[in-house]
Copies of this chain bind each other. A is one copy, B any other.
Amino acid sequence: MTLIYDEPERFAQSALEGFCDINAHLVHPVRGGAVRATQTPEGKVALVIGGGSGHYPAFGGYVGIGLADATVAGDVFASPSTESVARICRQAHRGGGIVLGFGNYAGDVLNFGAAATRLRGEGIDVRVLAVTDDVASAPKETPELRRGVAGDVPVFKIAGAAAEAGMTLDEVERLARLANARTQSFGIAFSGCTLPGADAPLFTVEKGSVAVGLGIHGEPGIRDETSMSAKALADLLVDPLLAERPAGANGRVAVLLNGLGATKYEELFVLWTHVARRLRDAGLTLVQPEVGEFVTSLDMAGCSLTITWLDVELEPLWLAPAHGAAFRRGNVEPRAAAPKPVEADADTLSFAAASDASRRDAAKACAIVERLAAVLAEAEDELGRIDAVAGDGDHGQGMRRGSTAAAEGARKALAAGAGAGSLLAHAGDRWADTAGGTSGAIWGLLLRGFGTALGDDAPVNAAAAARAATAGRDAVTTLGRARVGDKTLVDALVPFVETLDAEVKRGARLREAWSRAAEAATRAADETAQLTPRLGRARPLAAKSIGHPDAGAVSLALCARTVGEALNAG
């Protein structure tokens, strides 16, 4: 149970402050994260890692020489915003390009991916590396569907060592991907963790049971077993990993036995006696194995075993000196302190020149975004109630906060002379950065995709709107992993875009086409009640949502109708 906090919603931020204070010799705090406090050579590839909070030492404990250059920290178990990722990347960049490392979760894939897109637009070469080590989450044949758990540590350690050695961005990326491909983990849980401010654990495991293959946010396991001896538990952890041995492996492995929080060191040492014996009996050589707490999940009880199948390239990188708050190896030569980073004040807005027509459309677009914010503020409680069936009930709050910030951003963009496209793109950024989480990221991608396709030149007409909607959808589905039928916003977005496109193609005017598309989205949102929930973090709760519509689809349909009404009124 998480018991020490002030306001629960400030927990992650306050923890980051405390972490940076106590480790002031290693890290400098920046808004939403931390960067190395030591000087880094110009031209070095930067490794920027991150994800939700609640997993310390992941990720702040792995910032340091021979490790990451910076970390971006989201709220507890929630992805950091696109804007945070992009901003901290800019602070960490030394001209050599960036490897962005994170665990393979929908929200992180969206936000780190969107940040990479933004940064590439600014001329920074960014490579995106989603760690996919958890063998319990998807079969061997589809490693790209696997979650990232404690495998983050060897993968980031190896990538950090490659970057520290002065390798090129291509090389660092190649070695990081190689390490990821050769790293697998398998975990078990005895009990769930409790979020700050919550009364009950996020999930529970029956007493006397072991949840096998459970994810670090309570994602579903592959089975429950009755409690067993340490020896039997070692077999259970080792067997699935030995089955992943890559062809041609030389038998030398990095090993990490990781405690999730409430499973303590001495229990891990007891387990290690059996794990080590099993691995050695299998003919493996354990190269500087590690036992401890590396990627936790608040006070969750459980553990995971990670194996990285080393080769002649990976082994020296695994063994290279490193010095972060939570990971030291060998001796790292002291370096000069870096000056404290200067944080940019509120961004001064500047937009590309826009046509008069587009600026007139921008005024209309601004009014529509303001209308959306008003409608979503009114719908906050209702959306929260729908979301609470399957999730943590914060969807209404996120939509209100995001759309309010988007409306404010739209007004500022309008005042700064933005065209319709830039205004909507900027509104999307503000939405994503303020709302955070997965839905914030998705709405950010949707509006930015829509706005970018619209541009700041031609006046908005039916064909342009259909093209823009298609681009917005593509932005969402390219970075997001949801498909139609997964019981997400995509279930409403896809019929909306298809109907809009079809109506426009058969010659309908924008307001008619949009209204019919909004009707299609509403029907599709209602029909999500018939769907079983998609895989993902919220699964243990989401199972309850059968018979209830998806909150993301419902709010998309609501927004589509609101825009339709505004078009018809205007």
A229: which B residues are within 8 A, CB to CB?
5-6
A4–B233 CB distance below 8 A: yes
B299–A264 CB distance below 8 A: yes
B53–A5 CB distance below 8 A: no
Q: Does A301 contact B (CB under 8 A)?
A: yes
B266–A11 CB distance below 8 A: yes
Nearest B residue to A20 via CB reads: B269
Distance of A329 from chain B, by nearest CB (Å)? 10
Could you tell me the distance between the alpha carbons of A546 and B264 in the complex, rounded to whole angstroms?
35
Could you tell me the distance between the alpha carbons of A233 and B11 in the complex, rounded to whole angstroms?
15
Could you tell me the distance between the alpha carbons of A22 and B266 in the complex, rounded to whole angstroms?
12
A566: which B residues are within 8 A, CB to CB?
none
Q: Does A57 contact B (CB under 8 A)?
A: yes
B301–A1 CB distance below 8 A: yes
Instruction: Give the one of A265, A293, A334 with max B CB within 10 A.
Output: A265
- Contact among B4, B263, B296 for A268, CB-based, below 8 A: B4
- Contact among B56, B227, B266, B296 for A53, CB-based, below 8 A: B266
Could you tell me the distance between the alpha carbons of A250 and B12 in the complex, rounded to whole angstroms?
35
Q: Does A18 contact B (CB under 8 A)?
A: yes
- Segment among A270-278, A415-423, A458-466, A524-532 that sits at the interface with chain B: A270-278
A5: which B residues are within 8 A, CB to CB?
229-230, 267, 270
- Contact among B3, B227, B231, B267 for A190, CB-based, below 8 A: B3
Could you tell me the distance between the alpha carbons of A160 and B1 in the complex, rounded to whole angstroms?
36
- Contact among B4, B21, B54 for A276, CB-based, below 8 A: B21
B230–A270 CB distance below 8 A: no
Could you tell me the distance between the alpha carbons of A272 and B2 in the complex, rounded to whole angstroms?
15
Q: How large is the interface on A (under 10, 10 to 19, 20 to 34, 35 or more residues)?
A: 35 or more
Q: Does A289 contact B (CB under 8 A)?
A: yes
Nearest B residue to A18 via CB reads: B269
Q: Which residues of chain A in 3-43 are interfacial with respect to chain B, using CB atoms and an 8 Å cutoff?
A: 3-6, 11-12, 14-19, 21-22
A56–B4 CB distance below 8 A: no
A227–B264 CB distance below 8 A: no
Distance of A299 from chain B, by nearest CB (Å)? 5
A4 in contact with B230 given A264-B298, A271-B18 (CB within 8 Å) = yes
Could you tell me the distance between the alpha carbons of A271 and B303 in the complex, rounded to whole angstroms?
26
Distance of A121 from chain B, by nearest CB (Å)? 34
A57–B265 CB distance below 8 A: yes
Q: Which residues of chain A in 246-300 are interfacial with respect to chain B, using CB atoms and an 8 Å cutoff?
A: 261-273, 276, 289-291, 293, 296, 298-299
B21–A273 CB distance below 8 A: yes
Q: Does A328 contact B (CB under 8 A)?
A: yes
Could you tell me the distance between the alpha carbons of A298 and B265 in the complex, rounded to whole angstroms?
8
A262–B4 CB distance below 8 A: no
Nearest B residue to A277 via CB reads: B21
Q: Does A350 contact B (CB under 8 A)?
A: no
Q: Does A226 contact B (CB under 8 A)?
A: no
Distance of A19 from chain B, by nearest CB (Å)? 5
B15–A270 CB distance below 8 A: yes
A11: which B residues are within 8 A, CB to CB?
266, 270
Distance of A279 from chain B, by nearest CB (Å)? 11
A2: which B residues are within 8 A, CB to CB?
264, 266-267
A231–B6 CB distance below 8 A: yes
Distance of A80 from chain B, by nearest CB (Å)? 15
- Beta-carbon contacts of A309-334 to B below 8 Å, as 1s and 0s? 00000000000000000001001111
* A16-B269, A54-B266 given; 20 more Cβ-contact pairs under 8 Å: A1-B191, A1-B262, A3-B190, A3-B263, A3-B301, A4-B233, A4-B263, A4-B267, A4-B268, A4-B303, A5-B229, A6-B229, A15-B267, A15-B269, A17-B273, A18-B271, A18-B273, A22-B289, A56-B265, A265-B293
Supply 16 A–B pairs (Cβ within 8 Å), ascending by A: A1-B262, A2-B264, A4-B230, A4-B263, A4-B303, A11-B270, A14-B230, A14-B273, A15-B265, A15-B267, A18-B269, A18-B276, A19-B269, A54-B266, A57-B265, A262-B262
